[in-house]
Amino acid sequence: MYLLTAVADLVRVERRSNLKPQTRMIALNRLWDNMTKKKMYLTGGIGSQKQWEGFGINYFLPSGTDEGGCYAETCGM
């Protein structure tokens, strides 16, 4: 999430300086859509894999650690 935040800032800076950040913007939108539509809990938590504090496959949103996940980071948003 820190990387996506940095890319979003870079896109904003490039827009202000008229540099056309199209490639970064397309990638940023694809990652954002995937995260919010397929990898985010109803509560807004993200990241179902505690082992690496990351994401699993699409729609893998376990409701407890006994199911292999439910890290659900919220402070990184």
Does residue 3 share a domain with residue 20? yes
CA 36 to the chain's CA centroid: 7
Task: Kindly state the percentage of the chain with pLDDT values over 90.
Answer: 22
Note down the domain range covering 57: 41-77
Total of domains in the chain:
2
Q: Which among 77, 73, 28 is positioned nearest to 55, based on CA atoms? A: 73
CA distances (Å), 25 to each of 3, 14, 17, 39, 68, in order?
A: 13, 10, 15, 20, 33
**The predicted structure's pLDDT at residue 34:** 95
More confident residue, 13 or 19: 13
Residues 34 and 61 in one domain: no
Question: Are 34 and 53 found together in one domain?
Answer: no
Q: What pLDDT, in 10s, does the model give residues 28-50?
A: 999 999 999 999 988 888 888 87
Kindly state whether residues 32 and 48 are assigned to the same domain.
no
Q: What is the pTM of this model?
A: 0.76
Task: Verify that 13 and 24 share a domain, yes or no.
Answer: yes
Q: Quick one: 2 and 25 in the same domain?
A: yes
Report the pLDDT value the prediction gives residue 77, as an integer from 0 to 100: 46
* CA-to-CA separations, 46 to 14, 62, 76, in angstroms, rounded: 28, 11, 9
